[in-house]
Chain A
Amino acid sequence: MHSDALLERARQGDKNAQGKLVQLWYKRIYNFSYKFFFDHDLAMEVSQKTFISMHRNLIGLQDVARFKSWLYTIAVNYCREELRKRKTTRSVSLNDFPAGEDEVSYRWETSSGRSDNPEKQFRHTELSDLLQQCLMELSAEQREVVIMKEYEGLKFREIADALQVSENTVKSRMYYGLDGLKKILEKKNITKEALGYEL
């Protein structure tokens, strides 16, 4: 995704290289945060904070090979911080409600471009929301592991490095996370046939 040379230049304060890193990793960090919160605003906030922190602390990163897990460590920490704030304030974001076809939906700001068929796109959005709701029913610990593994494609070693726990702990959380999702999908009656129909 990025070359070591780009990272090295960014570490040395090259603004163009730093900007390039943001462009390369913004989508990944945003999607990780979005799947964690199912909230656009919170995902944007965590992403912004993560990259600001990356700019400030990149010079202190000794091993450039650890950049990926290091970046996710920052993102996870901000996610946990926001989660604590939300638990304390118990605020309700307007984006907690299904975005649907509302005119003010942020979804209009994003361009999926995956399909030209509006009906198919609508069904896909509905399915995504449904699966996202399943994901939100997991505990935060299981959710962050499942997202990192399943959607971000990190190796167990990288996840353990990012979360600063043992690899076995990560695998265990993953196992129970998948098992939990299986039960949630069964409870919501999301079968292969239903998925086939939606898709």
Chain B
Amino acid sequence: MNYKPDEGTLMAYLYGELDAAETERVEQYLQQHPQVQEQLHQLSTVRKRMGALNDVEVIAPPVFVDHEQRSIPFWKEGYFKITMGIAASFLFLLIAARLIGPEVTYSNGELRISFNDTPKKTTQEQLLTTNEVQQMINSSLVKNNETIAANWEESNQKIQESLQRNLNTNSARIDKLVSGVSAASQDQVRTFVAGMQEENLKLMKDYFQLSAKDQQVYVENLLVDFTKYLHEQRKQDLMLFQTRMNSIEKNTDQFKQETEQILASIISNPEGTIRKVNNY
């Protein structure tokens, strides 16, 4: 017998959800396999232990449900409002178009909605080719260049004339002014030079007078100072000389006294002196 109940079958057996035949087969298997029976017994024990966890008592609170939501009329629904809004816009557009006079045309893949007369298409635009456009541009450019050249020539001429006229006028004025200035300047120069000479002479005279007086005073002072210096120098020299003379005189007197003392001693004791000389 190769029957072996799987985990699911064992669970169904544990909770009594197997039919009678299957239950019997499992029980026979469990009798032959006590280790599985023990395992199942342990799971049954777990169930008993976990069974101690009881329910929590609770009072059902009132549950409010928005019943009115179901009875919302369709015209208050969002999508209906949007659709009606778009439809109303189109209707308004159509009425306005009807009143003003609409023109709706479709041609060449172009839709035109206009409320006045349809603008007549200028066929000229369609007939123009690239070369024609280029020619038009070229001719326009040539005309434009010519106009610009003519204007430039005219302007240039006017400027030249104006310059010449101004130059002549200014030259005449300058010549007049220069001649006036040159005529007037000779007498003025003479007067100015004479004035200058007189003034210089006067200045030189004053300068020499002042400088001669100052030099005289300076030289006098210099002579006096030099005289004083010489006098002082002579005085000092004389004093030095006097001092030297005094010193010599003093030495001479001292020498004279010593000589006298020696002579006196020699005279007073001539023998002793001779003896001493002989000892030497």
Contact = CB atoms under 8 A, between A and B. Distances in A.
Interface string B41-52: 011011101111
Contact of B63 (A51, A112, A195): A51
Given A167-B8, A174-B11, A175-B8, A192 B45 contact: yes
A55 interface: yes
Interface in A104-127: 110-114, 124, 127
A52 B63 contact: yes
Interface in B61-102: 61, 63, 65, 67
Interface in A163-199: 167-168, 171-172, 174-176, 178-179, 181-182, 185, 190, 192, 195, 198-199
A55 B64 CA distance: 10
Interface of B: 7-12, 15, 17, 42-43, 45-47, 49-61, 63, 65, 67
A156 interface: yes
Contacts of B51: 150
A185 B46 CA distance: 8
B7 A171 contact: yes
B8 A112 contact: no
Contacts of B57: 27, 110-113
B55 A172 contact: no
A175 B10 contact: yes
A110 B9 CA distance: 39
Given A171-B8, A171-B12, A175-B11, A135 B53 contact: yes
Interface of A: 15, 22-23, 26-27, 30-31, 34-35, 44, 48, 51-52, 55-56, 110-114, 124, 127-128, 131-132, 134-135, 146, 149-151, 155-156, 167-168, 171-172, 174-176, 178-179, 181-182, 185, 190, 192, 195, 198-199
Q: Summarize A's interface: helix, strand, loop or mixed.
A: helix
A31 B42 CA distance: 26
Given A48-B61, A55-B63, A110 B52 contact: no
A169 B11 CA distance: 11
17 contacts: A15-B67, A52-B63, A110-B58, A112-B57, A127-B53, A135-B50, A150-B47, A150-B50, A151-B53, A151-B55, A156-B11, A167-B8, A182-B43, A182-B46, A190-B49, A192-B45, A195-B52
B5 to A, nearest CB: 11
Q: Closest 8 CB pairs between A and B?
A: A171-B8, A26-B60, A175-B7, A131-B53, A55-B65, A171-B11, A51-B63, A182-B46
Nearest to B51: A150
A146 B58 CA distance: 21
A175 B221 CA distance: 146
B7 A172 contact: yes
Contact of A52 (B7, B17, B60, B65): B65
A162 B192 CA distance: 134
A131 B17 contact: no
A27 B58 contact: yes
A168 B9 CA distance: 9
A30 to B, nearest CB: 5
Contacts of A156: 11-12, 15, 17
A12 B122 CA distance: 72
Nearest to A49: B63
Contacts of B56: 30-31, 34, 110, 112
Contacts of A178: 11, 43, 46-47
Nearest to B60: A26
A52 B10 CA distance: 38
A41 to B, nearest CB: 12
A23 B53 CA distance: 22
Given A15-B67, A26-B60, 14 more contacts: A23-B60, A26-B58, A27-B58, A55-B63, A112-B57, A128-B53, A149-B15, A150-B47, A150-B50, A168-B8, A171-B12, A172-B7, A175-B8, A182-B45
